Structure 1
Amino acid sequence: MSTSAPAPGSRRVYAGQSAEERDAARRARLLAVIHDVVGTHGYSALAVERVCTAANVSTRNFYQLYDGKEAAFADLYDDLLLGLGEQVAESLVATDGQPLAQRIPAALLAFLKPTFDDLRTARIIFVEVVGLSARIETTRLRNREKLIELIEAESRAAVVRGEVVDRNWRFAALALIGAATATALDWMLQKHRPPIEQLERELGELAVTLLTLDPRDAS
């Protein structure tokens, strides 16, 4: 988003809204349209003029908020990831005190559920962002790293509690994230999808296997 200072007088109230409130409302409308366009037709279908028309935002106001469509899409992606992160945090609070075998599957499903509920979000998160640009890739990897760190921290705490045997938790976290996202993407792309409850159960079982199975049992 633009960091330039507001023009003189831009903070005055108009129609009961401050300049900041009007900008927030424009941003919300723009992101809703971008979510629909990219989630339905792909990033290549995104055009500033069409987005502005659909969102009832002038192009002048658009460029006061963003330097182009990539910046606007990056803002949407950040917004979606923030929402998913909040779902994970809420899940961890709700499962506080429970064993790792319950906490991590619940947190994983909390992250994925919004994508199952809205396939536009799934397309953005799993398809459209991959390899789109260096800017988007940096955001994607930064947020993946947050998930890895969360899984590592929860797993090490479980080791201290004597629930699991210590291992390379980064490897386990990468395996879980990679397998879960690939499975979710495959489910999304299938013409005849299996019941979502089945997918959620299988992903939960995968998380438990990767994080709690004693690696010495496989030797």
Structure 2
Amino acid sequence: MEQRLRRPTGRYAGKAASERQAERRQRFLDAALQLFGDAPGYRSTSVAALCEAAGLSTRQFYEEFRTLEDVLAVLHLQVNDWAQAAVLDALGTTGDLPFAERYGFVFRAYAASLTSDPRRMRIAFTEIVGVSPRLDEQRLSRRARWVELIRAEAASAVERGEAADRDYRITAAAFIGSVNGLLHDWSAGWVDATLDEIVDELVRLLLALLRP
């Protein structure tokens, strides 16, 4: 469909058109989180099935999105934004803690955001992979943002004398790769451990990489 359908304007039932649009969009995303993140998964979901789950029409779908891939793209960014918000909040409240405690607290906030809902894990680590070059680029772009966050924290630790003074570019990329791989394997049932054990091991790895 080359052009999206025209959206209604004005107020209805006490709500502006923009408010109704936002509510409809969120209903599609909530339905997508369920269908893509649980069953049947992104590749087995149709536009009709998503609309039925959202309780909306295909006309309303095409007012908001062009394809199901667009929905997955938005949902993937939303999951990452939730995790990033949890991390930034943790960073903002742990500035006075020793760095071992600080990073343990911060990483637990990250893991808690993702693992609080298994559907988020599946969106972040499974459904997004291999869909299209566009989504692969988006996934790698968001991973690069996590790498930069680790590099920035490493630079702060260097200034405080808590980490060795060196380039952490490769280290940060390796750590994020370890996080993604281990959390994916754990969520798939391939690693026999509790979430606390997984988080503890990743925190130990991060601290070992940063310590002088």
Same fold judged by TM-score > 0.5?
yes
Contact 2:185 2:191 in 1 (8 A): no
Please say if 1:27 is aligned against 2:25: yes
Shift of 1:112: 2.2
Further displaced range: 93-102 or 57-66: 93-102
Contact 1:105 1:207 in 2 (8 A): no
Further displaced range: 23-32 or 186-195: 186-195
Please say if 1:14 is aligned against 2:17: no
SS at match of 1:138: helix
State the match for 1:165 in structure 2. Answer: 164
1:204-215 alignment to 2 at 5 Å?
A: 204-212=203-211, 214=212
Residue 17 of structure 2 aligns with an amino acid whose one-letter code is: A
- Distance of aligned partners of 1:175 and 1:37 in 2 relative to their CA distance in 1, 3 Å threshold: same
State the match for 2:199 in structure 1. Answer: 200
Contact 1:99 1:158 in 2 (8 A): no
Q: Distance in 1 between matches of 2:102 and 2:142?
A: 19
Q: Distance in 2 between matches of 1:105 and 1:178?
A: 18
Q: Distance in 2 between matches of 1:179 and 1:208?
A: 14
Aligned residues: 210
Further displaced range: 27-36 or 10-19: 10-19
Tell me the C-alpha RMSD between the 2 structures. Answer: 2.1
State the match for 1:122 in structure 2. Answer: 121
State the match for 1:182 in structure 2. Answer: 181
Percent identity over the alignment is 33
State the match for 1:39 in structure 2. Answer: 37
Further displaced range: 103-112 or 35-44: 103-112
Further displaced range: 188-197 or 108-117: 188-197
Shift of 1:191: 6.7
Q: Distance in 2 between matches of 1:192 and 1:133?
A: 28
Q: Distance in 1 between matches of 2:188 and 2:123?
A: 13
Contact 2:34 2:119 in 1 (8 A): yes
Alignment deviations for residues 121-149 of structure 1 (CA, whole Å, 9 cap, x no partner):
11111111122212212221221111111
Shift of 1:61: 1.0
Alignment deviations for residues 34-64 of structure 1 (CA, whole Å, 9 cap, x no partner):
1111111321112111110110111111101
- Distance of aligned partners of 1:105 and 1:132 in 2 relative to their CA distance in 1, 3 Å threshold: farther
- When normalised by structure 1's length, the TM-score is 0.88
Shift of 1:3: 9.7
Shift of 1:4: 6.7
Please say if 1:151 is aligned against 2:145: no
Residue 138 of structure 1 aligns with an amino acid whose one-letter code is: E
Residue 18 of structure 1 aligns with an amino acid whose one-letter code is: A
Shift of 1:20: 0.9
Gaps of 5+ in 1: 215-219
- When normalised by structure 2's length, the TM-score is 0.90
